[in-house]
Structure 1
Amino acid sequence: MTLPWARAARSWALAATVVAAGMLVLPCAQAQDRTSPFRAADTPADRAMTETVWGLLQNSRWLANGADKAPRTVYVFTDPNCPYCNKFWSDARPWVDAGKVQLRHVIVGILTPTSPGKAAALLTSKNPAATLADYERGQVAATAKALASGRPHPLGDEGIQPLATIPPAIQAQLDANEQIMAALALRATPAVVWRDARGGLQMRTGVPEQTLAAIMGPR
């Protein structure tokens, strides 16, 4: 079993590799709600970069939602206070429930002052993946109402109470996840990373409903 601090150190090292390779090319205006300019994995350099980033994500602290044998894996940087993360979780149900996609939630705590404590509470629960699923499910109705009103707000604490003190090992995991997010120039949640039908790496922040099929593939 990989120790938490070793896993975090490996993620930081991979993130440094990505930064050194010059991947920090997206200005903020491009990164927000836009698809990244990654090409399909056509050349050896493209394929090497894709595998480096994919390895970075595989070694991050993520929570699975969906079947392990699902034909498509989608990584999503998720803040437990993010209403748009909750909407994405809800919108993804048809693909996840059908066994077509496994979401891997890379947990970060960046949105509000209680986000780190809630992220830590989630990661220290007895079954973090189940806790996340229950929490997201319980917030869907309130989030839909808030978004429809045009007044989005952070998710409530029902289901996850923020920790006052974050254990060092958990803080290291959260720091490593945030480092990966920064290395990939992803500046908002949900930030989604996936491989397209050609194996090319794709990324975007924000998930409008019209892009779901491109990210998730066939239902």
Structure 2
Amino acid sequence: MRLPSLPAAGLLALAALPLSLAALAESRPAPLQALETQGLTVHGRFAAPGGLDGYAASANGQAMTVFVTADGEHAVIGNLVDAEGNNLSAAPLERLVRASQEAETWQALEDSAWIADGRDDAKRIVYVFTDPNCPYCRRFWQAARPWIAAGEVQLRHVMVGILERDSPRLAISLLAAEDPAAALAAHEQGDAIPPLATLPRQQEVRLQENHALMENLGLYATPGLVYRDDGRLATAQGLPDDERMVEVLGPRP
């Protein structure tokens, strides 16, 4: 069975009935357990009308709701709507799945191999997938100087090496520098940073992990930006225009 993708949107919130993971696993009906063997991940249970039990779930990164009938013998995957056409699935998915997934993604970014640019106490953090040979990364670095100088933003350059043959070596050399922030700043200002003759194995592994994270986020161009927009995770690819710069970095200082 292939689990269907579901449209996102909805208006009406439902009260959640949170259970511990252990208790939830013990109480799962047979249809739900069968779906789990096919790749479904259950994130939480919530109250649903009409004698149904609602479950917020995901498969292959796609959030979805599953409704189990009162007898526990059947399940329906999809959105539940009321008599006015309101989507009753949206609020549980937002609360139990998407918020959790975004928190996990942000944590993965925090755990990646990055170089800080800006103050640690900056109000806004933006992750930037940066290739040392990317001219648009350099232009973004230059365009962001007012926000960095004002202490409003910290850019965290998640180093990747995808554009040129020597990109991986340069990226690892910057990560392994005695002062990575100073090395990156010098590089982006046009000073040649000699690549290391011998690359630290640990940094090679971290670089590959950065590549995998970039791919998992659906980013394929540098600079690849990940930031928070009204509390929600957002991404952008390539050099932002002036309007998008403000969206990514906040009001212009």
Residues 227, 234 of structure 2: 8 Å contact kept: yes
Note if contact 1:117-1:165 (Cα within 8 Å) is conserved in structure 2.
no
Report percent identity of matched pairs: 45
Q: 5 Å matches for 1:15-94?
A: 22-23=60-61, 42-94=94-146
CA deviation vs aligned residue, 1:79-109 (integer Å, no higher than 9, x gap): 1110000000001111111000000000011
1:103 partnered with 2:135: no
Q: What count of residue pairs does the alignment treat as equivalent?
A: 166
Q: What secondary structure sits across from 2:234 in the alignment?
A: strand
Alpha-carbon offset, residue 166 of structure 1: 2.2
Structure 1 residue aligned with 2:240: 208
Residues 45-97 of structure 1: CA distance to partner in whole angstroms, max 9, x if unpaired?
Answer: 22101101000100000111001111000000001110000000001111111
Alignment partner, residue 175 of structure 1: 208
Give distance in 1, aligned partners of 2:192 and 2:164.
Answer: 17
Which of structures 1 and 2 has the bigger CA Rg? 2
Aligned mates of 1:126, 1:132 — CA distance in 2: 11
Counterpart of 1:130 in structure 2 is 182
Q: Report the alpha carbon displacement of residue 23 of structure 1 after superposing the two structures with TM.
A: 4.0
Could you say which residue in structure 2 is the equivalent of 1:10? none
One-letter amino acid matched to 1:117: R
Which residue of structure 2 lines up, in the alignment, with residue 152 of structure 1? none
- SS of corresponding position for 1:175: helix
Q: CA RMSD in A?
A: 2.1
Q: State the alpha-carbon separation in 2 of the partners of residues 23 and 186 from structure 1.
A: 15
TM-score (normalised: structure 1): 0.71
Contact 1:77 1:189 in 2 (8 A): yes
Structure 2 residue aligned with 1:27: none
8 Å contact kept, 1:79–1:189: yes
The equivalent position to 1:190 in structure 2, one of 206, 223, 230, is 223
The one of the two structures with greater contact order (alpha-carbon pairs below 8 A, sep at least 6) is 1
Structure with greater proportional helix content: 1
Deviation at 1:43, TM superposition (A): 2.8
CA contact (8 A) 2:173 2:195 kept: yes
Judged with a 3 Å threshold, the aligned counterparts in structure 2 of structure 1 residues 23 and 191 are, in CA distance, closer, same or farther, namely: farther
CA shift, 1:200, in A, is 0.1
TM-score (structure 2 length as normaliser):
0.62
- Residue aligned with 1:43, SS: helix
Letter in 1 for 2:119: A
User: What SS does the aligned partner of 1:122 have?
Assistant: helix
Inter-partner Cα distance in structure 2 for 1:130 and 1:44: 41
Tell me which protein shows more strand as a share of its residues: 2
Contact 1:23 1:183 in 2 (8 A): no
Gaps of 5+ in 1: 1-16, 25-38, 140-157
Q: Partner letter of residue 231 of structure 2?
A: G
User: Cα 1:55–1:21, aligned 2, differ >3 Å: closer, same or farther?
Assistant: farther
Give per-residue Cα distances to partners, 1:136-176, cap 9 Å, x unaligned: 12x2xxxxxxxxxxxxxxxxxx4312334422111001001
